[in-house]
Amino acid sequence: MTNILLIAIAYIIGMIPNAMLFGLMFNRASFEAIRSDAMGPEDIIRQFLKLPVFLTIMTDFLKGMLVVFLGMQFAQAAPMPMIMLFAALLARNYNVLIGLRGGKGVAMMLGGMVLIGPWSIPVYLVIVLIIFGVMRDLDYALGIGSVGLPAALVIGTGEIHYIFTGILIAMSIIAKHIDYTNTKANRYYAEKHERGNPFHPKNRR
């Protein structure tokens, strides 16, 4: 019963739409600027020092740490901290409060990994950097690089059971990456069609 309650708490923590809260706290334009389903990693890096973006990313990071900390302190099974991190990540990436929008949740994942196995982080980042070196696309590197997350967790912690929960988290991030990539492609082709259509209201003189 305790474990079920902890999973529910982790899900609720992940569901808190901090991007929306911080964006609306400053102004509506800030929210539109930091919507994680509309921003790529390059955009986040460029705008990281802007206060709404910084607060959003750091809150995600701390939320990941919080759910793992609760799992370590109160859960009754060894895999529970990772299961709770997965629940929070799922709630964040497919947030029912804001229409299933959300980013990949990499910041939240890294926050959780700080407590689960800090040595897993450099292993994961090496995998991301290798993919980035090949593809020259940070968005793809972070998304596809999650394939190596289970191995990074096992190498960084020495615990084989992390491979299963690592796979769940990797699948969540990759699924969101595919969703984001499709959305970006659809937006690009819609804009291209709009520019090439002389009868579109924006193209009328």
Structural element, H or E, at residue 118: none
DSSP structure string for 60-116: HHHHHHHHHHHHHHH-SSTTHHHHHHHHHHHHHHTBGGGTSB----HHHHHHHHHHH
DSSP structure string for 1-42: -HHHHHHHHHHHHHH--HHHHHHHHH-HHHHHHH-TTT--HH
Q: Is the pLDDT of residue 113 over 80?
A: yes
Average pLDDT score over residue span 104-112? 91
For the chain, the domains span 2-187
Average pLDDT score over residue span 26-36? 56
Tens digit of each residue's pLDDT (9 = 90 or more) over 77-88: 888 999 999 999
Q: Judge contact between 139 and 128, C-beta under 8 A.
A: no
Residue 151 CB partners (closer than 8 Å, separation 6+): 123, 127, 163, 166
Average pLDDT score over residue span 141-164? 89
What count of residues does the chain have?
205
Rg (CA), the chain: 18
